[in-house]
Structure 1
C-alpha cells in the first residue's frame, strides 16, 4: 500500500521534473519565435524577388530552402498559368447529395467497351504492332478538345502544381546541364568488411567467427565497445539484424524519429566522435530515419564505422545473423556473374546506382559512350514536383459498401523490373498545346507512346463508376489522390503511360486536353542493368526453392529480396530529390539552445541535443535522371490498372489482361504501390515472372470495410495469416 511519505516523495519528484521542463520550454518558445520571424522575412524576400523578370521558382526554392510548391504558394505568378485563350474550367468535385454514389452499390461485373483498345504500354513489340495499336486507338486530336465545364459542387482544396513558363522563357528550360554527364566510372569501389549483430541476443557474426556479446543497454557506446573488443578495425559496417536498439526508449517520445536521434547522439567511448567528411565514395554524419537509421563514427583518423539496419536490404523475418551473412554472400555471388568488379555498398540504393554506372556504354563509337546528359535544374525540379511514386489509396464508404463479401490482396512480383525496357534519353522536345495541336494524328500518337511527361486537363466521363486513373496532388495528408467522380475536370501532370491508359482503358475513354509536355528520344539506358538484376533474382529464387540446405534456401530467398531492393531503390536514386542534410548539436550545460545552421529547421529536441535538417536543393549530380524514375513509376501505376498477364487470352491469343480495371466496379478497397486489395478474388495466373500478380492474402468471408490506415493494416495482416493457414 502506498504511504503518505511515498506520495509526498512522488510529488517532490514531479516538481523537480516540472522545474527542469520550464527552462527548456522557454528556450523552445524563444527558438520557435525566432524561427517564425525568420520565416516571415524569408517569405517577404521571396515575394520581392518573384517580381524580377529573371525570377524562377526552382532557383528561389533552392535559395530559400523550401519546395517549389511552397514558392508558388507565396508567388502565384511563378506557378502554372493557363494557356492564353483557353477556357477557364474550375476544378470541381461532386459532393453531398449530388454524388451519384452516395447510395452504396454492390460490385458490378465489368463489360469491355467495344472499339477501345485496353492499355498495353509496356509490351516491347515490333514497330508494326505499335502502329496497329495507334491506328485502332481513339484520336488524340479529338481527345484534346477543350473540356466542358461541369456544373457540380465545390472542389476539395489541392496543391497547385508548377508548370513550364509560356513561350521563350519556358523554352529556355530545355537544355542539358553543361559539362555534366553520366559516365562509366574509371575506379573500383573499396571493399568494406561487415559484421552482423543481433542487438536483442548479442550474437555477433563476421568473417572471423561467431560470439555472443554483452551489450548492456545496447547504446552506441555499448555496441562499439563490445564489437571492437573482438573484431578487427577493418570491419567498417555493423548491420543490426534484430533488436532495433534505436527504439529502446521509444515510449518516451512522441515520434520514433526523436527516439532514433536520441540514440544516435548517445554517449560515445573515449576517443570516438561523429564522423567528419570522408572520401568521394564515403558519406559522413548520421541519417536520422525512424526505422532504418545510419550512424557514422570514427576513432582517430584511421578507424571508421557505420551502424546500419539490415532492413534497408530486406526483412530478415527472424533469420539469425549467420544466415543474414550468408544472404549477403549469396547476393555478391549472384551479382558477380554479371559484374566482375561488384562491391556491395552500404545500402541497396548506393549499390544499384554503382552497378548501373558500370553498364554505361564504354566502347568507342557506341551511342551514349560519351555519357548520358543530365537535364537542366528547371526540368529536374519540375519532375520532382509533378511525378509521384507508387499509388497509395484507401477507398472507403460511401465509395464502396460498408460491408464486403471478402478481402483479397494481390501483389505484383518485382514490378518495377517490368518497366525498364525503354526510357527517355537526351534533351527532351517541348510540345506546348499549340505545337501538339499542329501535329498530325500519327505524330500525336507517336509522341504519346514515346517516353514523355504531360501537363493535361482531364475530364472524367459521364457514367464512370470505377476507380480514378490519374493522380492529382492532395490537399491533406496524402500527397496524391485519384479523382473518380463522373463529370469532374481537373488539371495535373502525368507520364505518357498513364495518359495512354486513360485514353485506351478497357471500360471507357477519358477526355484529355494536352496543355504542355516533354517528349524524349527513345532509348534503353536501364535495360542492360535491369536484365542482369532480373537474372540474378531468378537464380536466387531457384536456389531458395531447390537448395538442399535449409539455411542456404533461406539465405537465397533473402538475397533475392535484396536484388529487388537494389533495383527498386536504384531507380529511386535517379529521381535525385533535393539533398537533405541532417545534423545534431549538443545543448550547453545550462540548457541553452545553440544556433543551428542557416536555412535549417528544428526537427527534434532531447535533454542533451537538438536535431536539425536543411534542404540543400539540387546538387550537380552526374547520375540525376528523374525522367527515368518518373517513367518507370508512371508505367507501374498504369499497369496496376490494366496490363498484360503471364497467360494468353484464349479468344485472341494475346496476353490476357490483369489489373484493377479488370475487377468489378465497387470491389477495389485499396492500393499500396504494387498491390491491389479487393472484395472479390482475382483469378489471374501466376508464373513467377516480373509483373505477375501473386495472391498474398485471402479471407473469403464478409468483412467490415476499413476506413482508416490502422484498420487497413489489421485486415492486411489477418488476410496474410488466413492464406498461410489455408496452405498448411
Structure 2
C-alpha cells in the first residue's frame, strides 16, 4: 500500500465512523422507544390484573407475551390451581435442606417487592462481620447471605408455607398514606402563589450585648461594665442593661440562666421558665410585634427561652429580646468577652461568603436568611422554588422523622460493657446537602413500580424520593435495625431488628436503598407507593459556603497564637454548625406553636394547652397549623435527615470517585453498638475508622474504660458519655 492509498483509506474510515455513529444513535433512540413501549405494556398488563375476570392466556395473546411473562408482571393472574401450588410448595420444602421461613404478607392492594441491590462486601483492614458465630445472646444468629440480584423482583410463583412472624406494634399511631382519586392530586401539587424567592432587601442588624448574669458583667462593643441585676427578673435585667447600653435590642445571656431561679417551687422546669418570663413589671410588658420578621410574645423553652419585651409606657416604641447564648453554642465556661468575640468572628467568617450577612436572633433565622440569598438568579429555578401543597407538607411532617435516637438494651448487648466508646460525625449534615428534591413530585404506585425495569427501580430508589413500604427483617439477622417504624409515645420511632419482624412505614430513598444493598443481608422491602422528585441542588451552594466558613474558623481555632481567640474561633465554628443544623430544621416548618398569656379568671382561647400559672396570669400554647411560609420545604429536611440516618449505619470514604473504606454501625461487630444519637454512635470497642477532619467523618469523642454497667436510660447514658469524654481528654486519643 502506497501513501496515496493509505490516505484514501483513512478518509474512507472517517466516513465509515460517521455512519456507524449515526447508526448507533438510531439504535439507541429505537431502544429507548422500545423500552418506553415495553414499560407501557407492562403497566397495562399490571393494570388488567385488577379486573376480576382477567385471564393470563387472553392477556398474553393480546400483549404478545408468554403466559409466564404475564404472571411475572402480574402474579394475581397466575392460572396454576391453588392445590398444585401448595403441592409444589410442599415438594420444595421437603427437598430444601434448610428452608428459611418467610413472613406471610398482609393482604393489601397490589404491592411491588423492591429488587435486592447487591453490593460486594467491603474490604477493610478489619474483616467485615458479615457472618458472626452465634453467641449466648438469643437474637444474635448467623446472618442470612445475600440473595441473587433478581430473587425479589416479583413474588415467587411458588407459595412458601406461612410462618407467624413478630410484628412491630405501633399502637394507634398509624402513618398516613396517599389517597386515591381526586384527593390524591393534592399530594402531587404545589401551593398556588407561594414561592421561595431571593429577597430584595437587606436585613437590619440589631444592637446586641452579652451578659453574664452570674457575675453581672456586661460586654458591649469593645468594653465591659458591671451592672446591678437586683433579683434578676426580666424587668430588672432590662433596666440595668439599657441604663448601661441605651438602644440595646437584644441581650444574650452567656451564663447564670436566671429563668431557672426558684425552679424548685414548680412541678416542671417549663413552668418555672414560663413564670420567670411573665414576671410582673411596672415598666415592661410582653411585646406584641408587628411588621416583617418581628415575632410576638415569649417562646417558652426549658433551657433556651426567648423573652420579648416592650416599654409599658410606649409598647409600640420597639422590642428588646432576652435570649440564651446556648441557642448558638455551649459557652462551656467561656467568659462573656470570649462569647462576644466568637460572635464577631462568626459574622466575619460569614461576610466572606455573603456580602449581606447579618446575624439574626437565632441560628434558624440566620440560616434561612443566608440560604434565601443563594437562590439562583438564572436557570430553571431563577423565579424561586415552589412550596409544596399543605397536604403534602403534612404528609412529610408525619412520616419524615429526624435524627435517630436509640438506646440498645440487653440482651442485644452485654449487661457489663467492656468499654463505652463514642464516635461523633463531624459537621454531619453538611455532607448531605449536595442533592435535594425540587419541584412537584411524581406519585409512584405499587403497580407502576412493579412495571419498571430493575435498572429503573434502582434509579428511582437512589433518586430524591420518599417511600411507603412494608418491611420484613431477614431470618438470621443479628445486627441493629435499619428502617424506622412508627410507635406512640415520646420515642415516635423505633428500629426493629428481630428476624422475621414485619412493619409498614415511610422512609427516604437513601434508607430503603441501604436496606436492599447492605453487605450483611438484604431486607425484603415491598413498595406500597411513593413520591419521586426531580434531583436538584437547592442547598448545595448554601452548604458549600457554610462548610468553607466552618473550615476557616476550625483552622483558626487550632493555629491562632492567642488562647482566647482560639476558644472564640472554636465557639464560632460551633455556631456555624448551629446555623446549618437549625436552618435545615427551619425548612421542615412543623405546625406552629403559639404561646400567650391570659389574666387569671378570664376565658382562655379555644384549644390551648396550659403551660403554667401564677397569681396574675395563665401561660398557654396552642398549635396554629401550617403558615403560608414561603420558605417551607420539609422535603429538603426529610431527605437530608434520611441520608444522615443511613450514614450512621454505612458511610463510604472516597478518594475522588474511588471508595477507599467504610464506617458506620454495620461495620462494627454485632452486639457492640450501644447507642445512636442523631449524628453519633457509641460502641463497646474502638473502630479502625480514619478521621480526616472532613464533614461526615467519624471522630473519636469519648472512651470510658470498662467494665461499665449498661445504662438503662438516656439520662444514664449521657452521664456515662460525659465521663468518657473527660477520660479521653485526660489520656489523649492514643490511650
Aligned counterpart, 1:303: 318
Aligned counterpart, 1:616: 624
1:636-715, aligned counterparts within 5 Å?
636-645=644-653, 654-715=659-720
| 8 Å contact kept, 2:168–2:502 | no
Aligned counterpart, 2:637: 629
Distance 1:106 1:154 in 2: 16
Structure 1 position 225 matched with structure 2 position 239: yes
Superimposed CA distance per residue, residues 352-396 of structure 1 (whole angstroms, 9 cap, x where no aligned partner)? 000000000123xx2200110111111100000000000000011
Distance 1:481 1:177 in 2: 33
Of residues 216, 234, 237 in structure 2, which corresponds to 1:202?
A: 216
Aligned counterpart, 1:265: 278
Displacement of 1:226 in angstroms is 0.8
Of residues 109, 120, 124 in structure 2, which corresponds to 1:84?
A: 109
1:462-541, aligned counterparts within 5 Å?
462-541=475-554
Superimposed CA distance per residue, residues 461-516 of structure 1 (whole angstroms, 9 cap, x where no aligned partner)? 00001000000112333111000010011100000000001001121000000001
Aligned counterpart, 2:228: 214
Superimposed CA distance per residue, residues 543-583 of structure 1 (whole angstroms, 9 cap, x where no aligned partner)? 00111111111111000000000001111011110011011
Change (3 A) 1:138 1:186: farther
Displacement of 1:105 in angstroms is 6.2
| 8 Å contact kept, 2:111–2:446 | no
Of residues 183, 198, 210 in structure 2, which corresponds to 1:184?
A: 198
Change (3 A) 1:544 1:144: farther
Of residues 302, 310, 319 in structure 2, which corresponds to 1:290?
A: 302
Distance 1:687 1:637 in 2: 21
Of residues 263, 272, 286 in structure 2, which corresponds to 1:274?
A: 286
Displacement of 1:139 in angstroms is 7.2
Change (3 A) 1:675 1:147: farther
Aligned counterpart, 1:7: none
Distance 1:368 1:148 in 2: 53
Aligned counterpart, 1:595: 603
Change (3 A) 1:304 1:170: same
Change (3 A) 1:311 1:112: farther
1:52-71, aligned counterparts within 5 Å?
none
Change (3 A) 1:170 1:406: same
Distance 2:391 2:134 in 1: 41
Of residues 533, 542, 562 in structure 1, which corresponds to 2:555?
A: 542
Superimposed CA distance per residue, residues 193-226 of structure 1 (whole angstroms, 9 cap, x where no aligned partner)? 1000001100001116211111122111210111
| 8 Å contact kept, 1:297–1:305 | yes
Larger gyration radius, structure 1 or structure 2: 2
Structure 1 position 317 matched with structure 2 position 329: no
Structure 1 position 551 matched with structure 2 position 584: no
Distance 1:243 1:115 in 2: 59
Change (3 A) 1:697 1:678: same
CA RMSD, aligned part only? 2.5
Distance 1:386 1:398 in 2: 30
Change (3 A) 1:191 1:441: same
Of residues 360, 373, 391 in structure 2, which corresponds to 1:378?
A: 391
Superimposed CA distance per residue, residues 654-676 of structure 1 (whole angstroms, 9 cap, x where no aligned partner)? 23010000000011111010111
Change (3 A) 1:426 1:703: same
Displacement of 1:141 in angstroms is 3.0
Distance 2:727 2:462 in 1: 42
Displacement of 1:438 in angstroms is 1.4
| 8 Å contact kept, 2:146–2:521 | no
| 8 Å contact kept, 1:140–1:445 | no
Query: TM-score, normalised to structure 1's length?
Result: 0.79
Distance 2:716 2:297 in 1: 38
Number of residue pairs the alignment of both structures matches: 603
Distance 1:144 1:627 in 2: 35
Distance 1:138 1:481 in 2: 30
Displacement of 1:142 in angstroms is 4.4
Distance 2:569 2:145 in 1: 45
Displacement of 1:401 in angstroms is 1.6
Distance 1:267 1:447 in 2: 58
Displacement of 1:702 in angstroms is 1.6
Structure 1 position 141 matched with structure 2 position 153: yes
Aligned counterpart, 1:104: 137
Structure 2 gaps of 5+ residues are 1-105, 113-132
Structure 1 position 362 matched with structure 2 position 377: yes
Superimposed CA distance per residue, residues 581-633 of structure 1 (whole angstroms, 9 cap, x where no aligned partner)? 0112232xxxx3x2111232222223332111111111111111100000000
Query: Which runs of structure 1 show a deviation greater than 4 angstroms over 4 or more consecutive aligned residues?
Result: 100-103, 105-108, 110-116, 137-140, 142-150
Distance 1:144 1:503 in 2: 18
1:331-480, aligned counterparts within 5 Å?
331-363=346-378, 366-480=379-493
Distance 2:556 2:433 in 1: 25
Q: State the SS of the aligned residue for 2:700.
A: strand
Distance 2:277 2:440 in 1: 43
Distance 1:139 1:356 in 2: 44
Distance 2:369 2:160 in 1: 46
1:28-177, aligned counterparts within 5 Å?
83-84=108-109, 104=137, 141-142=153-154, 150-153=163-166, 155-158=168-171, 159-177=173-191
Distance 1:317 1:209 in 2: 22
Aligned counterpart, 2:34: none
Structure 1 gaps of 5+ residues are 1-80, 88-99, 117-136
Change (3 A) 1:141 1:106: closer
Displacement of 1:432 in angstroms is 0.9
Distance 2:483 2:476 in 1: 17
Q: State the SS of the aligned residue for 2:411.
A: coil
Change (3 A) 1:219 1:401: same
Distance 1:226 1:201 in 2: 13
Aligned counterpart, 2:75: none
